[in-house]
Chains A and B, each alone.
Chain A
Amino acid sequence: MIKTLSTSVLALCATLGAAQAQTDINWWHAMGGELGAKLDEIVAAYNASQSDYRVIPTYKGSYAETMTAAIAAFRAGEQPDIVQVFEVGTGTMMAAKGAVYPVYQLMADMGEDFDPEGFLPAVVGYYTDTDGNMLSMPFNSSTPILYYNKDVFAKAGLDAETAPKTWGDVEAFSRKIMETGAAPCGFTTGWISWVQLENFSAWHNQPIGTLENGFGGLDTELTVNGPAQVKHWENLAKWQKDGTFQYGGPGGGADSAPKFYAQECAMYMNSSASRAGVIANAKDFEVGYGMLPYYDDVEGAPQNSIIGGATLWVLQGKPEEDYKGVADFFTYLSSAEVQADWHQFSGYLPITEAAYELGKEQGYYEANPGSDVAIKQITLNAPTANSKGLRFGNYVQIRAIIDEEFQRLLSGEVDAQGALDSLVKRGNDMIRDFQGANG
Chain B
Amino acid sequence: MRAFATNKMQTKRTIFRNRWLPYLLLAPQLAVTLVFFLWPAGQAVWQSFLREDAFGLKTTFVGLANYTRLFDSPEYLNALRVTLVFSVSTAALALLSALLLALALDRTIRTTRLYTTLLVWPYAVAPAVAGVLWWFMFNPTIGILPYLLEGLGYDWNHALNKGDAMALVIIAASWKQISYNFLFFVAGLQSIPASLREAAAIDGAGPVKRFFTITLPLLSPTTFFLLVVTVVYTMFDTFPVIDATTGGGPAQGTTILVYKVYDDGFIGLNLGSSAAQSVILMGIVIVLTVIQFRYVERRVTY
Residues of A at the B interface (CB closer than 8 Å) are 64-65, 68, 71, 74-75, 92, 95-99, 247, 249-251, 255, 258-259, 262, 264, 394, 396-397, 400, 403-405, 407-408, 410-411, 413, 433, 436-438
Contacts and interface: CB of A to CB of B under 8 A. Distances in A.
Contacts of A95: 53
A250 B263 CA distance: 15
B249 A404 contact: yes
Contacts of B263: 400
Given A98-B55, A247-B160, 18 more contacts: A65-B266, A74-B55, A74-B56, A75-B56, A92-B54, A95-B53, A96-B55, A255-B159, A394-B270, A397-B267, A400-B267, A404-B252, A407-B160, A407-B249, A411-B162, A436-B51, A437-B53, A438-B58
A408 to B, nearest CB: 5
Interface stretch (B7-15, B137-145, B225-233, B283-291): B137-145
A264 B52 CA distance: 47
Contact of A258 (B52, B141, B251): B141
Contacts of B139: 255
25 contacts: A64-B267, A68-B266, A68-B267, A71-B54, A71-B55, A74-B55, A92-B54, A98-B55, A98-B57, A250-B159, A251-B247, A255-B140, A396-B267, A397-B268, A400-B267, A404-B249, A407-B160, A407-B249, A407-B250, A407-B251, A411-B161, A411-B162, A411-B250, A436-B51, A438-B53
A258 B159 contact: no
B269 interface: yes
Nearest to B272: A437
* Residue from A74, A255, A264, A437 with most neighbouring chain B CB atoms (10 Å): A437
Interface in B252-282: 252, 263-264, 266-270
Contacts of B58: 437-438
A410 B251 CA distance: 11
Nearest to B264: A397
A377 B251 CA distance: 32
Nearest to A403: B249
Contacts of B159: 247, 249-250, 255, 407
Interface of chain B, main secondary structure: loop
Interface in B213-250: 247, 249-250
Given A407-B160, A407-B249, A413-B251, A96 B268 contact: no
A75 B250 contact: no
A20 to B, nearest CB: 32
Contact of B51 (A407, A413, A437): A437
Contacts of A65: 266
B266 A259 contact: no
B165 to A, nearest CB: 10
B190 to A, nearest CB: 46
A68 B269 contact: yes
Contacts of A92: 53-54, 269
A99 B57 contact: yes
Contacts of A408: 251
A99 B142 CA distance: 44
Interface string B130-165: 000000000111100000000000000001111000
Nearest to B159: A249
A251 B141 CA distance: 16
A251 B243 CA distance: 13
B57 A96 contact: yes
Nearest to B273: A433
Contacts of B142: 258
A404 B267 contact: no
Contact of B251 (A68, A396, A404): A404
Interface string B50-77: 0111111110100000000000000000
B268 A396 contact: yes
A177 to B, nearest CB: 18
Contacts of A404: 249-252
Interface string B155-178: 000011110000000000000000
A415 B116 CA distance: 52
A249 to B, nearest CB: 5
B278 to A, nearest CB: 16
A96 B148 CA distance: 52
B192 to A, nearest CB: 48
Contacts of A262: 141
Contact of A437 (B52, B251, B267): B52
Nearest to A74: B55
B268 A394 contact: yes
A147 to B, nearest CB: 17
* Residue from B54, B142, B267 with most neighbouring chain A CB atoms (10 Å): B54
* Residue from A251, A264, A408 with most neighbouring chain B CB atoms (10 Å): A408
B141 A96 contact: no
B247 A250 contact: yes
A-B complex: 4 closest residue pairs judged by Cβ atoms: A407-B250, A404-B251, A99-B55, A407-B251
